[in-house]
C-alpha cells in the first residue's frame, strides 16, 4: 500500500489503496494497468507531453464528439485505458524524469514497456527506482524479454503470434487453400497484459503477506509477449512436447472431442462441439440421423479423430438442409453445446451478454457518453461497478501533481512553459 488510500480509488475494490504509475504505451502494458485500475488501484498514466500515447493516432475510426466531429480518442486507446488518470511529462527532460522519480517513490507499482535499456538512460529503470522505493513492484513488458539474443529487438503483436506458434495452428489447412493467419484482435498483447497483471498482483501479495506490511520488498517482473503466446498454446504445445507431433491448422475444427467445428446451414452456420461420445450420439439423434451414432467410422472419439474428414463431410451435407435457428433449437433441446457465429453488433445485442452486463456506459467530456466493454470478473462481495472513461491527454496533470507532489499553480505554469508537462 502506498501509505494512504488514494482519493481516486473505490474503497470496496480488492486493490483499493494501491497506486500504479503506468509508463506504458499502446496495448500490452496499458491493458495490464487497466486491469489493475478495474480492480481498484489508482492508475496514473504518464504520456508524452504534446503527443501522448501512440495509440491516440491509431485511427480512423475515432470517437465522435457530440456534434459528430472526430476527436483524437481512438478505439485502441478507449479499449485499454479506462479507470486511469492521464498526466503529460517529457521524460527526455531532467525535470520530467525527476517528477517520475517522485511519483515512483510514493507508488506501489510501475508498469513500463520501453525497449530494453531505454529507461536506464533516464535513471528510471528498476535498479534506480528501487533505491528510492524498495517496496516498488516494477513490471517490464517487452516483446522478447529483458534477456536473450532477441532482447533488443522491437516487435508488434502479429510478430509474436507468428514466432510463438499461434499462427501455425490458426487458419484453414493447406489442402483447403488455407494459410497461417493472425487472430483478429491483438491477442498477444492481451495475453501478455493479463500475465503482467497477474504477476503484479502476486508480487504485491508476496511483498505484503510474506514480507510484512512494513518491511516487504518489491521485485522486478520481466514479461515477454513471445513467452506469453507460447504459454497460451496449452494443449497444442503439450501435444508437441509430449509426443513430438507438430499440430496443424484445422480451420474451425477442434483437437479434442469431435465433431467440433462450424457446420454450414441453409441460411448461416452453427458452431458445435461434442465433448464426449454421449453428446455425439445426441447430436446425431437431434439431426434425425441416429444411426450415425453407431457408424463404425464414428462410434468413439478416437475413431472419429482418425476419420475427421469423413465426419466433417458427412455432417456438412446434413446440416446444409437445416435453417440456423432450427438447428440451434434442436441442439439446445438435445443438450449439445452449440452457438451461432456472431459479429460484434450481435454479440452486444444477445440477451445473455446483456444480462451479464458486458457493456457499460460512462460519461465522457467530448462525446457525452461512451460505451465500453466491461471487466468480466464477477466478485460476490467486491463487485466492479466503478468505471471511468479513458482520460483525454493530460486531463489530470494539474490534479495529480498538486495532490501527490504538492505543486502550486506557479510551478505548474513554469513546467508547462518549459515543455516539461
Please say if 108 is a catalytic residue.
no
Contact 84, 33 (CB under 8 A): yes
Task: Give the active site residue among 53, 189, 222, 227.
Answer: 189
- Chain centroid to CA 81: how far? 11
The conformational region for residue 269 under phi > 0 = left, psi -120 to 50 = alpha, else beta, is beta
Does the bond joining 18 to the residue before it have cis omega, within 30 degrees of 0? no
- Give the length of the chain: 421
Dihedral of the alpha carbons of 317, 318, 320, 321, in degrees to the nearest 10: 130
Which grid coordinates belong to 200? 503484479
Residue positions annotated with a catalytic role: 189
Amino acid at each position: 500500500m502506498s501509505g494512504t488510500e488514494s482519493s481516486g480509488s473505490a474503497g470496496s475494490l480488492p486493490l483499493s489503496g494501491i497506486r500504479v504509475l503506468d509508463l506504458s504505451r499502446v496495448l500490452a502494458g496499458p491493458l495490464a494497468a487497466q486491469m489493475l485500475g478495474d480492480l481498484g488501484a489508482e492508475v496514473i498514466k504518464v504520456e508524452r507531453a504534446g503527443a501522448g500515447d501512440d495509440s491516440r493516432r491509431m485511427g480512423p475510426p475515432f470517437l465522435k464528439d457530440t456534434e459528430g466531429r472526430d476527436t483524437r480518442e481512438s478505439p485502441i486507446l478507449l479499449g485499454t485505458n479506462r479507470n486511469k488518470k492521464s498526466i503529460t511529462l517529457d521524460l527526455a527532460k531532467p525535470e520530467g524524469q525527476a517528477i517520475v522519480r517522485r511519483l515512483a517513490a510514493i507508488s506501489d507499482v510501475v508498469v513500463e514497456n520501453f525497449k530494453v535499456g531505454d529507461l536506464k538512460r533516464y535513471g528510471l529503470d528498476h535498479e534506480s527506482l528501487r533505491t528510492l522505493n524498495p517496496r516498488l513492484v516494477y513490471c517490464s513488458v517487452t516483446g522478447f524479454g529483458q534477456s536473450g539474443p532477441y532482447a533488443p529487438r522491437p516487435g508488434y503483436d502479429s510478430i509474436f503470434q507468428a514466432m510463438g506458434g499461434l499462427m501455425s495452428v490458426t487458419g484453414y489447412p493447406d489442402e483447403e487453400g488455407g494459410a497461417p493467419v493472425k487472430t483478429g484482435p491483438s491477442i498477444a498483447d492481451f495475453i501478455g497484459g493479463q500475465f503482467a497483471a497477474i504477476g503484479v498482483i502476486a508480487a504485491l501479495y508476496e511483498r505484503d503477506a510474506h514480507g510484512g506490511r512494513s518491511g516487504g520488498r518489491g521485485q522486478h517482473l520481466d514479461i515477454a509477449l513471445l513467452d506469453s503466446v507460447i504459454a497460451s498454446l496449452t494443449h497444442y504445445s503439450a501435444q508437441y512436447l509430449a509426443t513430438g507431433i507438430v499440430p496443424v491448422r484445422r480451420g474451425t475444427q477442434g483437437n479434442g472431442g469431435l465433431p467440433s467445428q462450424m457446420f454450414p446451414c441453409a441460411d448461416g452456420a452453427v458452431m458445435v462441439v461434442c465433448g464426449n461420445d454421449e453428446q455425439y450420439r445426441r447430436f446425431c439423434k437431434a439431426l434425425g440421423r441416429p444411426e450415425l451414432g453407431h457408424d463404425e467410422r464414428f462410434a468413439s472419439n478416437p475413431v472419429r479423430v482418425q476419420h475427421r474428414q469423413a465426419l466433417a463431410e458427412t455432417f456438412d451435407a446434413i446440416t446444409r438442409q437445416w435453417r440456423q435457428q432450427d438447428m440451434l433449437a434442436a441442439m439446445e433441446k438435445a443438450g449439445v453445446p452449440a452457438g451461432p457465429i456472431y459479429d460484434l453488433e450481435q454479440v452486444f445485442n444477445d440477451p445473455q451478454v446483456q444480462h451479464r452486463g458486458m457493456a457499460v456506459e460512462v460519461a465522457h467530456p467530448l462525446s457525452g457518453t461512451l460505451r465500453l466493454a466491461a471487466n468480466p470478473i464477477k466478485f460476490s462481495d467486491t463487485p466492479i461497478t466503478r468505471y471511468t472513461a479513458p482520460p483525454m491527454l493530460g486531463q489530470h496533470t494539474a490534479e495529480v501533481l498538486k495532490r501527490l507532489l504538492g505543486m502550486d499553480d506557479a510551478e505548474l505554469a513554469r513546467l508547462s512553459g518549459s515543455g516539461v508537462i
